[in-house]
Amino acid sequence: MAAAETLVFHLSLVVGGELRDAAGERLGRVDDLIVRLGDEDYPPVTGVVATVAGRQVFVAAEQIVELGPGFVTLIAQQLDLQHFRRRPQEVLLKKDVLDRQLINLDGARLVRANEIELARLEGWYRVVGVDVSLRGLLRRVMPRALAGRVEPRAFLDWASVEPFTGHVPTVRLRVPHPKLAKLHPAQVADLVEAASHNEGEEIMAALASDPELEADVFEELEDSHQLEFVEDRSDPEIAELLGRMETDDAADLVLQLPEERREDVIGLLSPFQARRLRTLLGYDPATAGGLMSPEFICVYADATREEALERVERSSLPAESLSWVYGMNTHRRLRGGIALADLVRTAEGERLWNVLRPVQTVRADADLEEVARLMTDFDLTVVPVVDEEERILGIVTVDDVLELVLPEPWRRRFGLLGSD
Amino acid sequence: MELRALLPRLPRGRPRLRPRNRLAVKLIALLAFAGPGLVAANAGNDAGGIATYASVGARYGYDLLWMMVLITISLVVVQEMAARMGAVTGKGLAELIREHYGPRWSLFSTFAVLLANLGICISEFVGIGAALGLAHVPTQVSVPIAAVVVWLLVVRGSYKLAERVFVAMTIPFFAYPIAAILAHPDWGSVGRAVVEPKIHLTNAYIILFIATVGTTITPFMQLYLQSAVVERGLGPEDIPAERAEVATASVFANLVAIFIIIATGATLYVHGDHTVSSAADAAKALEPFAGRFAEALFAVGLLGASLLAAAILPVTAAYVIAETFGLEKGIARRPREAPVFVLTLTVLLLVGAAVAMIPGVPVIRLLIFVQVVNGALLPVTLFFVWRLSRNEELMGEYRNGRVFDAVAAVTVFATGALSLALVGLTLAGKA
């Protein structure tokens, strides 16, 4: 990192230091540093808040010539007195960032800023990183004279962290969406669950511009947290979110809603979505019917390999729902299935009924144990759910089962208000 | 292994799309709300608390009952602020102190909480040993078993299970009203004592007065309550319900304390037995006047209270450490996911149980030490609770109202001053 070549110093040593004029005379005490959060990786210092003769004043960056541990030196002999006022996108480092939580985007976890590291970089003083180590915290408890001797060690590069700024009135929507989008939706969900409600709202707000990612994150959120972020939304907003989620996860979310809102929300979905959701909701959630996803590909058994593959190509379903293609006879009875990989490998023009294999199925009222046992015994990743006439109703994929059979303490990582 | 044994419990039956009877929903919600407030308030009626209340009754009869009314109001005010802050900010008290008052205050309170909680934890295990000792179970058997049970519940159980067990542990508290009734008090004089302050201007009276305040309003109660509210995921919309819960719980807990005073006041005081040094002593002393049944009830109450507090104290210490250092936290984490949290818990339980098993532990001296640490910590905690909950930037529209804020200020300063006075008296060797 470029900052390593220049002198890196601690915020906590600048704050509390002397405000000096050009001649080196003491004018007052430095209270806080102001930086502007923007597109730059290392936010520049845009001013200093200081106490001069008992009054709190603002010193703009243009008036500062040097900044270092224990002092801020001005260009002029005179101080141009201004009152401090928050400007857009500016934060006070000590008040708003130090000791608070940040998102470490590299590890996708929350960290606490025990110290903020500054350096002169590209011609001006900038924030270059945060120290999240215990060492950084203990140094701040030590007397100033001792603390100054402790050299900064490894710290987190500022480019890979994002502060929460919901408590700063002049900064809007800071957590930038592009950085979050690099994380897996499950990682974003973990962050939301680990953060406080307001911080979680900040992350969710950053996702608002990307409804697809937002829906993916919702699918990964634990039930109680889903409710937390859905409660305040209007029925149409929830309906829109549900529309983007996979039907089985959407059904779980509907179950989280207060009973009096469920009908209203489902009523706002497209008739197609509403019908699927209602079908799923009609099943006991602890059975194959409640676990299954109504989205799968089932073609007539006399279709050709190409016709079946075309259906797969046109489909917008997630990959796990497409790992098997099913075939049915003219009475819509399930005749068998073929793994997608095997389908790709069959000879061109082959009719499906030549290659279909018999598959294990379950009834909609089979309980979770039965489904899990069947999948374990036959090494299945997908099981079709059929009715009395052997018509396929949906498929249960291994991810849905795994989620439930994992012993509870293994599943919960944050929050621990798990459903029971 | 049978697969079913591994499966978590799943909701059975079809989901409802239409609302149930609204009144039924509300009643269920109210019951489910017997939660963090009740746990926090009742953990205050622990072994040390019972010993103090029993001494109050044995020494001064009903003369200090009037004070319990004031203490209850103070407790409600303080606990309400902590619960409201948890709901509004989604952060624990230790976390807010760190963010608003910097690392020095934060480390001071963390260290003090750790020390104080360790001390109280030891006294809880002593209490457990004494309660079961009345049933002739040796300490060397009862204490390790209790420690293991508490550890498993907190580390391996789920949050909801832990909270349910905590709430259930308060059921033995109903033993005290029954014990009080068995003691046949003169209800007329009890009633008069509640409304009519009787002040003795003696050293012993003043010290007992302050000790009662200190044992009823203890720093860990605010710290636990706020963290538990956060862990429960309560938000601003839950404030009215949580407020009601905190108020009823505080009143309930202090009614229990009042009944302890009545039970001992009607027997030990009346019969001239003025010295009670521990809760188990009080139970034994009750027997000749109120019968074996009263003694057993007293022991059951002591056991429940001590178990409850033995679980809450390490949890609180672990919350505080995790919040101060920004670590992952939460009840029922697996050790790998929140190592420091689980380590703190384990060390506190281990040391607490081990020390309590040493024959001839100087319990009284230990309690005095705990009292000093707590006494120094309480003004700090209360001051921060008050300052933070009136902070507009932090609390917005949920900050303290004007009248409430004035009451809170009086409570905080009066309680804080009393608490410091006790520290001074103890250090001067007067207590």
In tens digits, what is the pLDDT along chain A, a chain of 420 residues? 444 456 888 888 888 888 888 888 888 899 999 998 877 788 899 989 999 888 888 888 888 888 888 888 888 777 777 777 778 888 899 988 898 888 888 877 888 888 898 888 888 899 998 988 888 888 888 877 776 666 667 788 888 888 887 777 766 656 676 777 788 888 888 888 888 878 888 888 888 888 888 888 888 888 778 887 888 888 888 888 888 888 888 888 888 888 778 888 888 888 888 888 887 787 777 788 888 888 889 999 889 999 999 999 998 888 888 899 999 988 889 999 999 999 999 998 889 888 999 999 998 888 888 899 999 898 889 999 998 888 898 899 888 888 777 765 555 443 333 332
Which residue in chain B has the smallest CA separation from A256? B15
Task: With beta carbons under 8 A apart, name residues in chain A contacting B7.
Answer: 368-369, 404-405
| Closest by Cβ to B12, choosing from A140, A254, A286 | A286
B414: buried, middle or exposed (CB in 10 Å: 19+, 13-18, 0-12)? middle
**Which of A202, A408, A411 should one mutate to test binding to chain B, selecting the residue with the greatest count of B CBs within 10 A?**
A408
Give yes or no: residues A60 and A159 share one domain: yes
Please count the residue pairs, one from chain A and one from chain B, whose beta carbons lie less than 8 angstroms apart: 128
- Residue A414 counted as domain residue: no
CA atoms of B281 and B4, how far apart (whole Å): 48
Asked if the Cβ–Cβ distance from A137 to B13 is below 8 Å, we say no
Asked if the Cβ–Cβ distance from A404 to B7 is below 8 Å, we say yes
Task: With beta carbons under 8 A apart, name residues in chain A contacting B158.
Answer: 408-409, 412, 416, 418, 420
What are the CB-based long-range contacts (under 8 Å, 24+) for A130-134? A130/A102, A130/A155, A130/A156, A130/A158, A130/A161, A131/A10, A131/A155, A131/A156, A132/A104, A132/A156, A132/B326, A134/B325
Interface of A with B in 345-404 (CB under 8 A): 368-369, 372-373, 404
Asked if the Cβ–Cβ distance from A137 to B103 is below 8 Å, we say yes
Residue A228 contacts B, CB cutoff 8 Å: yes
A98: buried, middle or exposed (CB in 10 Å: 19+, 13-18, 0-12)? buried
Which residue in chain B has the smallest CA separation from A193? B233
Per-residue pLDDT of chain B (431 residues; tens, 9 = 90+): 344 444 444 444 555 555 445 555 555 555 555 678 888 888 888 888 888 898 888 889 899 999 999 999 999 999 999 999 999 998 899 999 999 998 889 998 898 889 889 988 998 998 898 888 888 889 889 999 999 999 888 887 766 677 777 777 777 878 888 888 888 888 999 999 988 888 888 888 888 888 888 888 989 999 999 998 888 878 888 899 889 999 999 999 999 999 999 988 888 888 887 777 777 777 777 777 777 887 888 788 888 888 888 988 988 998 898 888 877 655 544 555 677 888 888 999 999 999 988 887 777 777 777 878 888 888 889 999 999 999 988 898 999 999 999 999 999 999 889 888 888 887 887 55
CA distance B424 to chain A (A): 27
Task: Choose the final residue of a domain: A109, A136, A163.
Answer: A163
Task: With beta carbons under 8 A apart, name residues in chain B contacting A286.
Answer: 10-12
CA atoms of B370 and B305, how far apart (whole Å): 18
What's the structural domain count of chain A? 3
- Residue A370 counted as domain residue: yes
Give yes or no: residues A227 and A315 share one domain: no
Give yes or no: residues A140 and A23 share one domain: yes
- Residue A291 counted as domain residue: no
Asked if the Cβ–Cβ distance from B325 to A418 is below 8 Å, we say no
Give yes or no: residues A186 and A248 share one domain: yes
- Quick check: B264 and B54 in contact, CB under 8 A? yes
Tokens of B378: 């309480």
Give yes or no: residues A67 and A94 share one domain: yes
- Looking at the predicted complex, does its ipTM rise above 0.90? no
Task: Choose the final residue of a domain: A163, A193, A226.
Answer: A163
Which class is domain B35-427? mainly alpha
Give yes or no: residues A321 and A343 share one domain: yes
What residue numbers bound the domain in which A333 lies? 298-404
Asked if the Cβ–Cβ distance from B10 to A198 is below 8 Å, we say no
| Closest by Cβ to B158, choosing from A200, A410, A418 | A418
- Residue A117 counted as domain residue: yes
Displacement of CA B244 from its chain's centroid (Å)? 18
Give yes or no: residues A145 and A54 share one domain: yes
CA atoms of A373 and A379, how far apart (whole Å): 10
Give yes or no: residues A126 and A25 share one domain: yes
Residue B9 contacts A, CB cutoff 8 Å: yes
Give yes or no: residues A181 and A329 share one domain: no
CATH number for A268: 1.25.60.10
CATH number for A328: 3.10.580.10
Asked if the Cβ–Cβ distance from A99 to B233 is below 8 Å, we say no
DSSP SS3 for B235? coil
Give yes or no: residues A276 and A312 share one domain: no
Give yes or no: residues A224 and A335 share one domain: no
- Residue A41 counted as domain residue: yes
- Residue A170 counted as domain residue: no
Which residue in chain B has the smallest CA separation from A258? B19
- Residue A411 counted as domain residue: no
The pLDDT tens digits for B34-90 are: 678 888 888 888 888 888 898 888 889 899 999 999 999 999 999 999 999 999 998
Interface of A with B in 235-264 (CB under 8 A): 254-255, 258-260, 262-263
Task: With beta carbons under 8 A apart, name residues in chain B contacting A409.
Answer: 156, 158, 332, 334
Give yes or no: residues A269 and A394 share one domain: no
Which residue in chain A has the smallest CA separation from B13? A284
pTM over cut 0.95: no
